[in-house]
A and B are shown apart, each in its own frame.
Chain A
Amino acid sequence: MPEVRNDQAVFALEFQAVGKAFTAGRHRVDALRNVSLALPKGTVAGLVGPDGAGKTTLMRLAAGLLLPDSGRVVVFGHGTDNDTEPLRGLIGYMPQRFGLYEDLSVAENLALYADLHGIDRQERAQRFQQLTRMTGLAPFTARLAGRLSGGMKQKLGLACTLLSQPRLLLLDEPSVGVDPVSRRELWNIIEQQVKMSGTTVLLSTAYLDEAERCTDVMLLDEGELLDHGSPEAFRGKIRGRCYRVTHPELSNRDLQNRLSGQPGIVDAVIQGEAVRVVCDSEDSAGAVLAGTDTGKPRIEPVAPRLEDAFIDLLNKRRAPVRQANEMAGPAAPVADEEIIRVDDVDRWFGDFQAVKKLSFTVRRGEIFGLLGANGAGKTTTFRMLCGLLPASSGRLQVAGVDLRKAAARARARIGYMSQKFSLYANLSVSQNLAFFSSVYGLRDDRRDERIRWALRQFELEPRKDANSGDLPLGYKQRLAMACALMHEPEILFLDEPTSGVDPLARREFWNRTNRLAAAGVTVLVTTHFMEEAEYCDRLVIMAEGDILTAGTPTDIKRQARTEALPDPTMEDAFIQLIQAKQS
């Protein structure tokens, strides 16, 4: 391995006015435009930005897998265009889907990558031991990689990447689809690596709390580097503009509905029992909040978060999200009416019990969350509730109908949106809408009216003739939701509705969902984004087919409160519960 310590002035990674474009069919897409950045050695840099911002392109350029159209990429003083030979051992790149061989065991995968990197036998044994210990994979070395959980796979991928002891570690969304516990472990490994070997790390992430752990944060949007600085610097930009608002008479959801979209308010999200508000300038804040038609709210300033800063920056570049307030729903909500009842439900797959004696109820007009890591049984529960899967035993009642007896009748009253945003890719937006409204029995004028409603409400009008397969992810999500709402269902099932969607689109999505709930629609949602649990009225946390806990977000967080952690987040509570169960 070449020594590079000789020149301290050399940056670990440098982009010099880099541009990169792709042609997709007839379109030319600028993936990166004039991006310049420099990372000193030992930096842990987080790359954040909406979908399609160019994060993966930037990673691949840094790894030397792509060459820039204009500008230069320089790694430890070596250009990726003409000086590639010394770079080989310096860079470790872990793509989103790391190429593990699923039919090989953990040890065989490691050995294979050791061979590929040409690591000699003596060094190898010691590296294996060190890495398997660090990743906690030591007890599983004989297990096939295909049989590992999502989190363990990522850890093995990381271990394979670290085998060659790279000086620059490039990780593309390493924590996607990884449960919170494994996510913490991944971070521990990365931080250990930085401390031990002074590795420089560049990672892209969709989780903004991960960005907070970085020394440098870069915000990318539409191929442009919007800002680059420490998390502290980002937060500093909106200091004094963040508030926590509560109201004695209004529920947090009503309050958020009234606040969001008001002039002067950049962002309003539900956080626990309060609404978190970001104003567009420091002086206007008080006036804006007092001036809105909200009676007498209690307002207290709070410390800014990185996320607030991003939303602020991104919002400035886009047309503000228009708040259309005509989410039609069924009749006025009847308080405390049970609309979903799950009684002692079991589900077996062969001799594996995916769901164990599950019981809970959901009331009309609630947003009810099912939280849990992958494989916790939330998707199985969901599929049973939608009538896609029969229960092995127990009783399931949806909208007053026993699913065992009249699943078809229950299905007419529910809307379902799957995590893949299942649409007919070859059909246009309006054809998809027409199809789904027809199969729900709408016709003629009623159908046309609902299609017009959906196009307007979900702002799909300009794209109504585009093939749904060609839409950006955010549009797909909106169209999928519109399709699920064509027949005005009483209950809406949302399976991981925000996976892979950027923070802005996520926000917009939750605003819509909140308005639906306010109109009396019951919403059941699964998510592995712990922060989204805050939007739910009540939720259950599942692990291994069991309910770990149930209650309001505040209740659940209160359970996790300790001396050391006076204000735990939902993720803290989740991890604590999981660990309590395992011990």
Chain B
Amino acid sequence: MWAMIYALLVKEFLALVRDRKSRFILIGPPVIQLFVFGYGATYDLNHIPIAIYNEDRSIASRDFIERFTAAPAFTEVLRLTRQEQIAPALDEKKVLAVLHLGPHFSRDLYLGRQPAVAQILVDGRDSNTAMIALNYMQSIVATFNLDWAERHRLPGPPAQLRIRAWFNPNLESRWSIVPGIAGLLTLVVTIVVTALSIAREREQGTFDQLLVTPLTPFQILVGKALPAAIIGVIEASFIIFMAVFWFGIPIVGSLAALYLGVVLFVFAVIGFGLMISALSVTQQQGLLGSFLFIVPAVILSGFATPIANMPPLVQDFTLLNPLRYFLVIVRGVFLEGLTADVLMSQYWPLAVIGLVTLSCASWLFRRRMY
């Protein structure tokens, strides 16, 4: 029996490797996406264009403004001289924010009778970016306050926040995104490989040819699942390797815990892929089915938006999503140094999903054989 499955395995790999298009699908998109996402997808804002309208020409105001313009997050692209210039600068998206210091800024600052007001006008059309930009600005103002108080021997604010980020000391979003890409790309490649494999054979008529051999449907299914599993694990390994050695993201936890997660995740995904495959008659249907699965799986995984922010019903729905668990595992191992016993709560749902989807696929497969 294993000799026959081995023959299927060899056939499957030969078919993938000898075909230039399949070869490209396995190598091209993952490499491109890894670099595009690795460099492109980031929450960190750099060089936010701002405009400055300073009506108060004093040392204090210049010092205040310098703290903005010198920060890597901001770039001053406009210096305004009149009130009327503010609206067009924001409307035309020349700048994301305008920092306005009134004529009494330094007077208020020195006299200390009333707080010196610095106005920030921000383009709220992209709320996410605006919020991040405001955060940066607030922390700049906070630092300014502290420094000012120290220099002029004023009492500091009664309570102040001191932040230290664990696991990702500089809060670099790449550290959480690149390990996530390992999950994302493994999902895409594994789904596409499995979803198309049976449909391709149906189209070429070789599926009938397989069914008239003494192979049982179970053997055929194993012969389809194993190559995909091997490819999935290789794909994940490649991205993990690149994350560590190219993007320099430290891997704190144990590799064994990570690979247990990779294997369980790949099997859960193959279950979905084979279900799509069993239901589709043509490769086109297989591809369409893959997309119908991949898009919600990525959006509802916590890759980009936290699951905790989703409505409760949707949160429950994400429990079916293998990527959700794998992201916890991969980020946990990379950044938190979690070990296998802590991650048990993530392993078993993956195992259950894998078992259920693979059984469903095998049932569908038998039913749809004819």
A424 and B206 contacting across the interface, CB-CB below 8 Å = yes
Contact with B along A434-458 (1 / 0, CB 8 A): 1110111101000000000000000
Contact with B along A152-179 (1 / 0, CB 8 A): 0000000000000000000000000000
- Bound together, the chains give a CA A435 to CA B11 distance in angstroms of 7
A426 and B19 contacting across the interface, CB-CB below 8 Å = yes
A438 with B4, Cβ < 8 A, contacts A418-B205, A431-B14 known: yes
Least distance between A398 CB and chain B CB atoms (Å): 11
Main secondary structure of the interface of B (DSSP, over half): helix
Contact with B along A404-431 (1 / 0, CB 8 A): 0000110110101010111111111001
- Bound together, the chains give a CA A569 to CA B135 distance in angstroms of 91
B residues near A493, Cβ cutoff 8 Å: 212
B18 and A414 contacting across the interface, CB-CB below 8 Å = no
A441 and B214 contacting across the interface, CB-CB below 8 Å = yes
Least distance between A179 CB and chain B CB atoms (Å): 22
Interface residues of A in 455-486 (CB under 8 A from B): 467, 483
- Bound together, the chains give a CA A483 to CA B8 distance in angstroms of 15
CB of A387 closer than 8 Å to a CB of B: yes
A435 and B204 contacting across the interface, CB-CB below 8 Å = no
Closest residue of B by beta carbon distance from A422: B205
B11 and A416 contacting across the interface, CB-CB below 8 Å = no
CB of B208 closer than 8 Å to a CB of A: yes
- Bound together, the chains give a CA A317 to CA B12 distance in angstroms of 41
B212 and A411 contacting across the interface, CB-CB below 8 Å = yes
CB of A386 closer than 8 Å to a CB of B: yes
Interface residues of B in 1-37 (CB under 8 A from A): 3-4, 6-8, 10-11, 14-15, 18-19, 22
- Bound together, the chains give a CA A424 to CA B18 distance in angstroms of 11
* The one of B3, B14, B210 that contacts A438, using a Cβ cutoff of 8 Å: B3
Contact with A along B181-220 (1 / 0, CB 8 A): 0000000000000000000000011101111111110000
Least distance between A347 CB and chain B CB atoms (Å): 10
A388 with B214, Cβ < 8 A, contacts A424-B206, A435-B7 known: no
A residues near B205, Cβ cutoff 8 Å: 418, 420-422
A422 with B209, Cβ < 8 A, contacts A427-B15, A438-B3, A441-B4 known: yes
Closest residue of A by beta carbon distance from B223: A439
B208 and A439 contacting across the interface, CB-CB below 8 Å = no
A residues near B209, Cβ cutoff 8 Å: 416, 418, 422, 436, 483
A427 with B18, Cβ < 8 A, contacts A411-B214, A439-B4, A440-B213 known: yes
B15 and A387 contacting across the interface, CB-CB below 8 Å = no
- Bound together, the chains give a CA A235 to CA B15 distance in angstroms of 49
B7 and A439 contacting across the interface, CB-CB below 8 Å = yes
- Bound together, the chains give a CA A411 to CA B215 distance in angstroms of 9
- Bound together, the chains give a CA A435 to CA B12 distance in angstroms of 10
A residues near B213, Cβ cutoff 8 Å: 411, 436, 439-440
CB of A390 closer than 8 Å to a CB of B: yes
A408 and B4 contacting across the interface, CB-CB below 8 Å = no
A residues near B211, Cβ cutoff 8 Å: 387-388
CB of A389 closer than 8 Å to a CB of B: yes
CB of B166 closer than 8 Å to a CB of A: no
CB of B246 closer than 8 Å to a CB of A: no
* Total contacting residues, chain A, CB less than 8 A: 34
- Bound together, the chains give a CA A389 to CA B369 distance in angstroms of 8
B216 and A414 contacting across the interface, CB-CB below 8 Å = no
* Total contacting residues, chain B, CB less than 8 A: 26
Q: Tell me which of B3, B22, B213, B216 has the highest count of chain A C-beta atoms within 10 A of its own C-beta.
A: B213
Least distance between B215 CB and chain A CB atoms (Å): 6
A408 with B214, Cβ < 8 A, contacts A390-B370, A418-B209, A431-B14 known: yes
B residues near A428, Cβ cutoff 8 Å: 18
Least distance between B48 CB and chain A CB atoms (Å): 51
* The one of B18, B204, B215, B369 that contacts A439, using a Cβ cutoff of 8 Å: B215
Least distance between A511 CB and chain B CB atoms (Å): 24
Least distance between B209 CB and chain A CB atoms (Å): 5
- Bound together, the chains give a CA A343 to CA B208 distance in angstroms of 24
B206 and A422 contacting across the interface, CB-CB below 8 Å = yes
A427 and B212 contacting across the interface, CB-CB below 8 Å = no
Contact with B along A361-391 (1 / 0, CB 8 A): 0000000000000000000000100111110
- Bound together, the chains give a CA A493 to CA B212 distance in angstroms of 10
- Bound together, the chains give a CA A554 to CA B49 distance in angstroms of 93
Least distance between A110 CB and chain B CB atoms (Å): 30
A residues near B369, Cβ cutoff 8 Å: 388
- Bound together, the chains give a CA A427 to CA B8 distance in angstroms of 12
A416 and B208 contacting across the interface, CB-CB below 8 Å = yes
- Bound together, the chains give a CA A434 to CA B216 distance in angstroms of 19
B208 and A418 contacting across the interface, CB-CB below 8 Å = yes
- Bound together, the chains give a CA A428 to CA B19 distance in angstroms of 11
Q: Tell me which of B14, B208, B214, B215 has the highest count of chain A C-beta atoms within 10 A of its own C-beta.
A: B214
B residues near A443, Cβ cutoff 8 Å: 3
A426 and B18 contacting across the interface, CB-CB below 8 Å = yes
A residues near B214, Cβ cutoff 8 Å: 408-409, 411-412, 439-441
A residues near B14, Cβ cutoff 8 Å: 424, 426-427, 431
Least distance between A323 CB and chain B CB atoms (Å): 28
- Bound together, the chains give a CA A408 to CA B14 distance in angstroms of 26
- Bound together, the chains give a CA A439 to CA B223 distance in angstroms of 11
Least distance between A422 CB and chain B CB atoms (Å): 4
B residues near A467, Cβ cutoff 8 Å: 18
Least distance between A342 CB and chain B CB atoms (Å): 17
B212 and A416 contacting across the interface, CB-CB below 8 Å = yes
A426 with B15, Cβ < 8 A, contacts A386-B212, A418-B208, A435-B10 known: yes
Least distance between B242 CB and chain A CB atoms (Å): 29
Least distance between A207 CB and chain B CB atoms (Å): 25
Q: Tell me which of B19, B206, B212, B369 has the highest count of chain A C-beta atoms within 10 A of its own C-beta.
A: B212
Interface residues of A in 167-207 (CB under 8 A from B): none
B residues near A416, Cβ cutoff 8 Å: 208-209, 212
B residues near A439, Cβ cutoff 8 Å: 4, 7-8, 210, 213-215
A residues near B215, Cβ cutoff 8 Å: 439
B15 and A408 contacting across the interface, CB-CB below 8 Å = no
- Bound together, the chains give a CA A409 to CA B213 distance in angstroms of 10
Least distance between B6 CB and chain A CB atoms (Å): 8
Closest residue of B by beta carbon distance from A443: B3
* The one of A408, A425, A438 that contacts B216, using a Cβ cutoff of 8 Å: A408
B212 and A387 contacting across the interface, CB-CB below 8 Å = yes
A residues near B212, Cβ cutoff 8 Å: 386-388, 411, 414, 416, 493
B15 and A388 contacting across the interface, CB-CB below 8 Å = no
Least distance between A421 CB and chain B CB atoms (Å): 8
Least distance between A284 CB and chain B CB atoms (Å): 45
Closest residue of B by beta carbon distance from A431: B14
A residues near B216, Cβ cutoff 8 Å: 408
B residues near A435, Cβ cutoff 8 Å: 7, 10-11
Closest residue of A by beta carbon distance from B18: A426
- Bound together, the chains give a CA A206 to CA B228 distance in angstroms of 44
Least distance between B205 CB and chain A CB atoms (Å): 4
Closest residue of A by beta carbon distance from B370: A389
Closest residue of A by beta carbon distance from B5: A439
Excluding A426-B19, A427-B18, A439-B214, 7 further A-B contacts by CB distance (< 8 Å) are: A388-B211, A416-B212, A418-B208, A422-B205, A424-B14, A438-B3, A440-B214
Interface CB pairs A-B, < 8 A, 24: A383-B370, A387-B212, A388-B370, A409-B214, A411-B213, A412-B214, A416-B212, A418-B205, A422-B208, A424-B14, A424-B204, A426-B19, A427-B15, A428-B18, A435-B7, A436-B213, A438-B3, A439-B4, A439-B210, A439-B215, A441-B4, A467-B18, A483-B209, A493-B212
> Hey, which bits of chain B sit against chain A, CB under 8 A?
3-4, 6-8, 10-11, 14-15, 18-19, 22, 204-206, 208-216, 369-370
The 10 A-B pairs at the shortest CB distance, nearest first, are namely A438-B7, A422-B205, A420-B205, A416-B212, A412-B214, A426-B18, A426-B19, A422-B206, A422-B209, A439-B213
